[in-house]
Amino acid sequence: MALRNIVYSSEPLIRKKSKVITDFDERLDILLEDMKETMRKNEGVGLAAVQVGVLKRAVVIEACGQYFELINPVILNSEGTQTGPEGCLSVKNVSGDVVRPYKVTINAQTRYGDNMVLTLEGMLAVVACHEIDHLDGILFIDKMIEKRD
Ligand code: CO
């Protein structure tokens, strides 16, 4: 396992669309382990593969005492709204309020390629939406309604 360097919002790569993962192999295992380690080291609550320079549709999330890996995640349904502050390891020194769904149902695959459907609420829904946006090159600052100091 290894720490990977964070890609910042000043780098064009962060705006690229990530590709669907079709190979559930050892390289994916290593990527996910490195992403987990890099997220923890940087005290993040989520990380998308593009943030470590890999344009693949993989995210890791760790919040509310739970850890998730989502491969090729797709939001099937969202309900309600919530507004709260967000930050991003790729966007230094900025935080601000974003409106997100309160609850999302997501279809994704595990690192072994098994399909799963999960429903996340509250902060976990916020983090999942934030990370899934990264897979399409979208940053929270694009959606921010108010900047916080
Ligand atoms: Co982010």
pLDDT tens-digit series, residues 88-125: 999 999 999 999 999 999 999 999 999 999 999 999 99
Q: Is 121 tagged catalytic?
A: no
Domain ranges of the chain: 12-148
* Ligand 1 centroid distance, CA of 46 (Å): 7
Residue 1: CB atoms within 10 A of its CB come to 11
Phi, psi of 140 (to 5 degrees): -65, -25
Residue 131: CB atoms within 10 A of its CB come to 25
Point out the catalytic residue in the list 11, 121, 131, 146.
131
* Ligand 1 centroid distance, CA of 54 (Å): 14
CATH topology of domain 12-148: Peptide Deformylase (3.90.45)
pTM: 0.97
pLDDT in the model for residue 148: 87
